[in-house]
Structure 1
Amino acid sequence: MNQAMFWEGIGNDRVLCLLCPQKCVIADGKRGFCRVRQNDGGVLYTANYAQVSAHSIDPIEKKPLYHFYPGAHIFSVGTFGCNLRCGFCQNWSIAHGDPPSVTFLPEQLAAAAAEEDGGSNSIGIAYTYSEPFMWYEYVYDTAKLARDSGLKNVLVTNGFINPEPLKKILPFIDAMNIDVKGFSDSYYNETCVGELHPVLRAVETASAYCHVEITTLLVTGLNDSKEEISRLADWLAGINKDIPLHLSRYFPNYKMQLPPTPLYVMEEARDEALRKLNYVYLGNVPGSEASSTYCPECGALIIDRRGYRAMETGLENQKCRKCGRDIAIIL
């Protein structure tokens, strides 16, 4: 184990974890809500430091990031542990299970990612699959080494993090996909065992430091109403209308067995969000044209996506080839 950051002793060998808004009070010999931060004799340690439970070379579109080096690949790694309990969790076997792990020290992971950079069009490291902020110390140490090697660092996160640790790591992060699970406190409380406000605050903070895209999984009958999508889009437009929003289709998983989100609900939600935002995509909808990028001005096809394949068709110097409008994209 590795000593943790962001905690304080509160007497009787108990500690208060200050990494995320759960603010766990952890007794000696116990772990916090996330299952990976452990009190040992009044000192907080991380039980998953350098423990990699999943790794792969993924298309950047799989994160999903559609406006950050489209068509590239990225070395993706994850570990066990999460600070939410979403009933629909898509990666529950990693986040909430006990998967086998292999040890990759930060310098080993950075070196492996640099090697992939030369061989598979990989641009860096994505910390993903479960919740990277519950891997904070390892991600922080590795991200600094990756940055020194000229690699990009990407976080795929639920954004449920306290301001101080977020601001400490952001100088080393190039892009984030942040899950905004829904747009009501009741949904976060009842479905995810969390809170909405800290996530909104994280999005607002991160968008001033790095490239940000948002994903919302639309769960049948719970967070998929036009009114909720409209509030989400209004808030996001108030930060930046160019922030891409990915509306992802729910399928039964983990503890939730509601029917899949109807396709017409997905399409209506996208139409509603496009009234406020420039780039809105549908995920988990194979064959949909709503995974491609179009010019917000003239509607020309900018990037044609088929599955995870991305083909630039309408870009010229980061502008629409047809009308000349600037397209908010990093190449």
Structure 2
Amino acid sequence: MAIVSGRFWQKMDDGRVRCELCPRFCQLREGKRGACFVRQALEGEIKLVSYGRSSGFCIDPIEKKPLNHFYPGTPVLSFGTAGCNLSCKFCQNWSISKSRQLDTLASEASPEAIAATAQRYDCRSVAFTYNDPVIFYEYARDVAQACHERRINTVAVTAGYISDQARAAVFEEIDAVNVDLKAFSSRFYRRLCAGELAPVLDTLKYLYHESNCWLEITTLLIPGENDSDQELHAMCQWLVAQLGADVPLHFSAFHPDFKMATTPATPAATLLRARDIAKVEGLQHVYVGNVHHPSASSTYCHHCGELLIERDWYQLGKWHVNRGCCEHCGTPLAGHFDRSPGSWGRKRLPLKI
């Protein structure tokens, strides 16, 4: 496992090193690790100590990220590392994101090997996921550059918890992003994530208005925590006003896990209620996830209402998209689409590199 010099840090007068990659701004003495676990003060600078190592590789459908408007039906080579810069009590990937053991990083692969493997399996994209790619920025950047040399897209699945000074660099080599907007409440972020809401909103505005990344958003709805009508209306109003009505929004079902194992799972009715609220507020493309509901997982034309992309879990059915437009009325559909859908379906293929 390689240790490489990181970006976005500065030395302090008292000998500590301040990491400036995320809003935590960890101030570390020699040998100490940041809250993310994988960035460490070594030799008077911040270094990434997990470069080139992964918790595993798997080929997934792109819809699993979830991205419904980015080359639907195509396969994506997915991987993550260890650690995270948030401390969500409800984390669904806690065995990876909360790992404090580098033994979690059992798979080793160079950026070139990852890109070559993606090409060999005809993957349209490579995704940095399972834990947040912000904390392994240098590795993700090098993988992204290797992928782009082979004309393979890159996807970041992130909480968007990034500092102002690092934001542009983190997304410079990324083609599509799904941001996990965990709630629309500062109290929720502080109490359940040990973070702040404002930097995430800044990331969303940057991605939509200043980057070339395709953006979709996911909110995991937790009963009694972030699923009130008032909060959902406020969130959707903000999304329409600050970003745009065409940003796809995914409401995903929580299941009991990690430090919230006694919290009940999210009923499907809650997701559908949230979807109705989002559509009332003007969002054009709203989906539900982690539940089986084909109609609420499919894509419709926001102008004429006709079905454009039929989904049953991650399996695509009817396809009425012609050159990125509704086949029925000609209205453009926001996103990136091929002439025909991919055929990867629901397959999940773990592999070693």
TM-score with structure 2 setting the length = 0.90
Matched letter for residue 248 of structure 2: P
Name the structure 2 match of 1:272. 277
Structure 1 counterpart of 2:264, from 259, 266, 272: 259
TM-superposed CA distance for 1:237, in Å, is 0.9
Instruction: Indicate yes or no: 2:300 matched with 1:297.
Output: no
Structure 2 counterpart of 1:250, from 225, 249, 254: 254
Residue by residue, what CA displacement relative to the aligned partner does 1:236-294 show, whole Å, maximum 9, x if unpaired?
Answer: 11211100000001110111021012222221111000112000000111134200111
Q: Find the aligned partners of 2:112 and 2:322 in 1 and give their Cα distance.
A: 38
Q: Which structure has more RCO (C-alpha within 8 Å, separation ≥ 6)?
A: 2
Structure 1 counterpart of 2:8, from 6, 24, 29: 6
1:235-246 to 2 correspondences below 5 Å: 235-238=238-241, 239-246=243-250
TM-superposed CA distance for 1:114, in Å, is 2.2
Matched letter for residue 65 of structure 2: K
TM-superposed CA distance for 1:311, in Å, is 2.9
Q: Find the aligned partners of 2:141 and 2:11 in 1 and give their Cα distance.
A: 23
Query: Which shifted more, 281-290 or 79-88?
Result: 281-290
Secondary structure in 1 matching 2:310: strand
TM-superposed CA distance for 1:11, in Å, is 3.5
Name the structure 2 match of 1:199. 200
Name the structure 2 match of 1:76. 78
Instruction: Indicate yes or no: 2:309 matched with 1:309.
Output: no
1:113-262 to 2 correspondences below 5 Å: 113-117=118-122, 122-208=123-209, 209=211, 210-238=213-241, 239-256=243-260, 257-262=262-267
Matched letter for residue 214 of structure 2: H
Query: Which shifted more, 286-295 or 219-228?
Result: 286-295
TM-superposed CA distance for 1:321, in Å, is 1.9
Check the 8 A contact 1:54/1:129 in 2, yes or no.
no
Query: Which shifted more, 98-107 or 216-225?
Result: 98-107
Name the structure 2 match of 1:327. 333
Check the 8 A contact 2:82/2:105 in 1, yes or no.
no
Secondary structure in 1 matching 2:334: coil
TM-superposed CA distance for 1:140, in Å, is 1.0
TM-superposed CA distance for 1:9, in Å, is 1.0
- The structure 1 segments of at least 4 consecutive aligned residues displaced by more than 6 Å after TM superposition are none
Residue by residue, what CA displacement relative to the aligned partner does 1:4-32 show, whole Å, maximum 9, x if unpaired?
Answer: 11111113431000000011011111100
Name the structure 2 match of 1:112. 117
Q: Find the aligned partners of 1:33 and 1:317 in 2 and give their Cα distance.
A: 45
Matched letter for residue 208 of structure 2: S
Secondary structure in 1 matching 2:165: helix
Secondary structure in 2 matching 1:33: coil
TM-superposed CA distance for 1:312, in Å, is 4.3
Secondary structure in 1 matching 2:204: helix
Matched letter for residue 149 of structure 1: R
Output the aligned Cα RMSD.
Answer: 1.3
Check the 8 A contact 2:294/2:310 in 1, yes or no.
no
Q: Find the aligned partners of 2:318 and 2:306 in 1 and give their Cα distance.
A: 12
TM-score with structure 1 setting the length = 0.96
TM-superposed CA distance for 1:169, in Å, is 3.4
Residue by residue, what CA displacement relative to the aligned partner does 1:105-156 show, whole Å, maximum 9, x if unpaired?
Answer: 2222222222222xxxx11210001111111110111111211221101000
Check the 8 A contact 1:13/1:41 in 2, yes or no.
no
Secondary structure in 2 matching 1:289: helix
Query: Which shifted more, 279-288 or 125-134?
Result: 279-288
TM-superposed CA distance for 1:316, in Å, is 2.0
Check the 8 A contact 2:41/2:47 in 1, yes or no.
yes
Q: Find the aligned partners of 2:116 and 2:14 in 1 and give their Cα distance.
A: 42
Name the structure 1 match of 2:345. none
Matched letter for residue 317 of structure 1: R
Q: Find the aligned partners of 1:242 and 1:312 in 2 and give their Cα distance.
A: 21
- Structure 2 unmatched runs, 5+: 338-353
Percent identity between the aligned chains? 42
TM-superposed CA distance for 1:165, in Å, is 1.9
Instruction: Indicate yes or no: 2:54 matched with 1:52.
Output: yes
